[in-house]
Structure 1
């Protein structure tokens, strides 16, 4: 009698596809699982803390905070979901596809920028998850908590995509219940809804929170295709778009609104307010947030590793990217981000606000260039196999058009920037309303379209099936 394969093999698959394209016969993702990933990934205490900035740092009323959060997330998620729609068609990680706009080596620069972002978010989530647990058990050693949570996230990221998506699908349901119940309980407490009668509307505060909502969503843009690439090609871009868009908006807005309420009660310690105001349920919610954050955080590290492998593949010709390389890179990146969390956890709120602000400025030009190239210039017509050629194939080693446009996109934002570290000379005449990211997006997209017409490169690729060719290059 033939013995059945081990149950664990059928339940969760260890990932063997790193940055290589996912062949059609291995695309096990579904629209439902993609939606669950993006719902689950926002069910974090970091999302709560981000929402609390509206009523805390910006001093907005609860109503105006919700409007700013909703508007910013609706705008930012639209861009992120457009990037996600590329995954089923190309089958490659999001930042590897940047080689088509910036060249084989130029794309690695953008991948490295995204890597720093992912490591920053991994560290940030560790710090806030630690705060959630310490709000319940204040005598625990903070460093030990951070390290334990880091080990959990690293272990899941090592296992790969399949465990990630299944863990997030499970956790998203549990945390969604916690968030909804907590919001209802807080809404009927005068100590929350009437905590700051002087709060209201300010232009700088409203647009500042709106910008945070935008960047929160655009921060997902560099890795949305890391997950949508597992959808079968015939699933189509529309399904990938809507699964990503709805998942991101619904989860982000609801969890940030919880943060708005907690921030109104205690701007300095919104997570502590949850335990203080909601009693046993608040304590239970903090514990669920803490341990789920450690697991969901694996998604940040997983995509950071995809960026690291893209950079390594471009920079070191002798290093062959294999499953072993992915595992080692995961351990190294996880260790670096954990050390960052240990070093910066004492002044987290200030550091995080600076981080997300700078992140907005560096992501905007890349997003505009990628979307313009994919939907207008090439209309999704790429030679995927040539993205892996060391000479860049038709995309070249360095793409002057893409790189110069990116530089213009950064420079045009500088006079209008509003950050704690630097304020542009044109920000004050505008009442310190941050419009730099709007100009950065519009100018980057327009300049890229103009330059691609002035300096046309290769002819359209034409219909082909490049995935099998690229995928056969290596799988170990």
Structure 2
């Protein structure tokens, strides 16, 4: 880069992504607490969040008030963990999952970057399907495949430009979609059918705690990429600002939109989005169109983080030099594959997505516990960032046995409590179908990681590296 380039980039309306997975230099840290808040505020305001909220009243048959209590509780708990991950961004300046190299080793972290990549691809595909459903609810004659392809193209283009365009898009989108959701909530709360459906429903513990767990996983699903955006905050911004701008954006928006989903699911559990048009007429149809368009824009954020993880895996395992060309090609290929998944998965989406969220929770929880214990208790934020990009692993090694063993044992700790369509643990019965595997997994993994690390330190083997 020559000394003539920075002024040219600065004058451009949109900065083309240049840093990719590299640490963000202070001169390029253009983020603000407002931009971070806008990103997370707008990211949750999509039809996928509506559909997720509708699971409470639709699939589990909970009354409206208990559905909202479960959603609020779950999101408040889950967002706390996600925001703690976000607070690491201004200090380290690197993508979230790349930092996993400090806990699992240069190559070991690739396992978790790959898991996160699959997760983001799943969300990209899921958002496309729900956005298509929103369009079909307004224009039944419209071709669903064409809708998916158009929305996918918009998300891919945004992702190709990178962080700066995504940040600016989310800023104004959060205002537009926020007004649409608020208006829908006010109008739909007065629909008589909602009160009737809620009165006929009854509280059940399984449904309540299942929705609470869904709220937790909804927020923790953001944990693997919250630092992808807070890394653009100036270092002097500090962890508190990164934490609260992320936390408030995540909680306010998710509770807001999922609660709308509860109301819609109460009157139309099979197709909650269609209820907007059925009960709110032209206003509901306009909101559906806004939802559909916003989803296409929001999806750029999901794909961006998928690409960050793909680049991390490629650099770690295949020694690929990460350039703008590599990032753009990876973006197009990843977006294309996720679009194909969406085209093939348009059937029974609600059931598949519910299962996806459950499995996601089980695999994310141990990683989250290890990262937070390592960052806040063991290292207290002190990392050798240069070593994270050293293909020998530097001081962190290529495979870190403590992190990997802790993760494996944390997964095993959840098994007796798991509740999935394929497997139900022996503790599910005594607990009356209440899924607490995520709680057990978090506590057990964090404790195991801390004990193993301190044991090795006591024996003067600070990093058991393979």
- Write the distance in 2 (CA, Å) between the matches of 1:327 and 1:417: 39
Task: Give every structure 1 segment of 4 or more consecutive aligned residues whose post-TM-superposition deviation is greater than 6 Å.
Answer: 5-8, 457-460
Give the structure 2 partner of residue 446 of structure 1. Answer: 447
- Paired position in structure 2 for 1:49: 51
Q: Which moved more, 1:419-428 or 1:78-87?
A: 419-428
Give the CA deviation at 1:196: 4.3
Q: Which moved more, 1:414-423 or 1:262-271?
A: 414-423
Quote the offset at 1:103 in angstroms: 0.1
Alignment of structure 1 residues 32-431 onto 2, 5 Å: 32-317=34-319, 319-431=320-432
Deviations 1:377-428 (A, max 9, x none): 0000000000000110000000000001000111111111112222112101
Normalising by the residue count of structure 1, what TM-score does the alignment of the two structures yield? Answer: 0.94
Distance 1:320 1:458, change over 3 A: farther
Q: Which of 270-279 and 10-19 deviates more?
A: 10-19
Q: TM-score, normalised by structure 2?
A: 0.96
Q: CA 1:7 to 1:95, structure 2 compared with 1: closer, same or farther past 3 Å?
A: closer
- 5+ residue gaps, structure 1, are 461-476
Native 8 Å contact 2:411 2:441 kept in 1: yes
SS state of the match for residue 38, structure 1? helix
Contact 2:453 2:462 in 1 (8 A): no
CA distance in 1, matches of 2:423, 2:169: 40
Cα RMSD after superposing both structures: 1.4
- For residues 182 and 6 of structure 1, what CA distance do their matches in structure 2 show? 43
Give the distance between the partners of 2:18 and 2:11, measured in 1 at CA. Answer: 13
Give distance in 2, aligned partners of 1:180 and 1:219: 25
Instruction: Report the count of equivalent residues.
Output: 455
> Partner of 2:433 in structure 1?
432
CA distance 1:27–1:8, change in 2 (3 Å): closer
Measure the CA separation in 2 of the matches of 1:411 and 1:140.
Answer: 47
Query: C-alpha separation between the residues in 1 aligned to 2:11 and 2:435?
Result: 50
Instruction: State the alpha-carbon separation in 1 of the partners of residues 405 and 243 from structure 2.
Output: 29
The separation in 2 between residues aligned to 1:455 and 1:8, in whole angstroms, is 49
Distance 1:321 1:237 in 2: 28
| Structure 1 residue 198: Cα displacement | 2.6
Q: Tell me: CA distance 1:94–1:265, structure 2 relative to 1, closer, same or farther (3 Å).
A: same
**Preserved contact between residue 394 and residue 458 of structure 1 (Cα < 8 Å):** no
Hey, what does 2:12 align to over in structure 1? Answer: 10
Q: Which residue of 1 aligns with 2:4?
A: none
Deviations 1:112-153 (Å, cap 9, x if unpaired)? Answer: 000000000000000000000000011111111101100000
d(CA) in 2 for partners of 1:422 and 1:208? 16
Give the Cα separation in 2 of the matches to 1:8 and 1:337. Answer: 33
1:463 aligned partner: none
Contact 1:64 1:200 in 2 (8 A): no
Secondary structure, in 3 states, of the residue corresponding to 1:289? helix
Using the TM superposition, name which of 340-349 and 227-236 deviates more: 340-349
Separation of aligned partners in 2, 1:266 and 1:423 = 29
Residue 306 of structure 1: SS of its match in structure 2? helix
2:150, 2:269 → 1: CA distance? 28
Mapped to 2, the partners of 1:380 and 1:193 lie a distance apart of: 50
Are residues 403 and 10 of structure 1, via their aligned partners in 2, closer, same or farther at CA, if it must alter by over 3 Å?
same
- 1:197 Cα shift? 2.7
- 1:182-222 Cα distance to aligned partner (Å, 9 max, x none): 11111111112212433121111100000000000000000
- Asked whether the equivalents of residues 59 and 205 of structure 1 are also in contact (C-alpha less than 8 Å), the reply is yes
Taking the aligned partners of 2:203 and 2:424, their CA distance within structure 1 comes to 22
Unaligned runs of 5+ in 2: 1-6
Taking the aligned partners of 2:59 and 2:448, their CA distance within structure 1 comes to 35
**Alpha-carbon distance in 2 for matches of 1:343, 1:33:** 35
CA contact (8 A) 2:128 2:296 kept: yes
Distance 1:196 1:31, change over 3 A: closer
